[in-house]
Amino acid sequence: MLFIMSDIHGCLNEFTGRIHDLNDLDSVKAGRDKLILLGDYIDRGPESYKVLQTVYDIQQECGADNVIALRGNHEDWFLEFLEKKSRDWLAEDEKLNTSRTFLTEEQMTELKELAIKEGTGKVYDFIRQSIKGNHKELLIWMKHLPYYDTTDTQIFVHAGVDEEAGDWWNVGTPDYYFTGKYPPTVGKFYMDIIAGHTATSSIVGDREFHDVFYDGQSHYFIDGGVERSGNIPVLVYDDKKKKYYSLKGDLKSGQLDIVRGHI
């Protein structure tokens, strides 16, 4: 089976809770099942660094063939900020909510003193230098996160692909589209597309809906808006039965609801 999650957004407790629901990935570690994560591990929630480190650790423990970790737009923005290519990410780092999780207490103290004496340019340079110095191995891993993964019948991606390119989507889709496509596309495509990025409550138009959204044809969206809802949907694909399920409780209790087109 395939277990798919997306848009963790720094919510460590919710993420580790869902990992526990999956029997702490025992079947993934054994190579019987796979975990696929669709990106946006950081920002918004309180534990961005710990979520990112947890994803890295899980992949190291289970193997890159058993745990597929993709990149989202928030990882792209973060890396671009660190390399001084863009400042877009700063809008997501309100009150340094994400930055502080990558810094030591001593660095935070020094940063506060620097903010009083110097301008924002010096502050951002200090943040960049500190994060790059603290987390070299983790950042190298981040830079190599792929934009998508596929099976014979499925595309796993953070935001989406250029469907007008048809079966040339993999070369016809620009990188920023994989992580930032908006609005989401629904309807028929020749492969199933499983994505996050856009909260399902927004797609459905129901603020209380935080589950898997299936358009009844080719698209599954699984961003549950965890930073607001506390829910990380888990899409389960049974590759023997060729069916999709939403995990409502944990695997031991067998709480798998078949995913049907949302009305």
Q: Per-10-residue mean pLDDT for the chain, 263 residues long?
A: 98 98 97 98 97 98 98 96 87 90 96 86 92 98 98 98 97 97 97 98 95 96 97 96 93 84 60
CB atoms within 10 A of CB 113: 10
Delineate the domains of the chain, giving CATH numbers in brackets: 2-71+146-258 (3.60.21.10), 81-139 (no CATH)
Q: Where are the beta strands (DSSP E) in the chain?
A: 2-5, 34-37, 67-69, 148-150, 154-157, 192-199, 213-214, 219-223, 235-238, 243-247, 256-258
Q: What is the 8-class DSSP label of residue 252?
A: G
What's the confidence (pLDDT) of residue 76?
96
According to the model, what pLDDT value does residue 261 have?
72
Q: What is the pLDDT of residue 25?
A: 97
Position 263 scores a pLDDT of 45
A 10 A CB-CB count for 30 gives 10
Give the pLDDT score at 12. Answer: 98
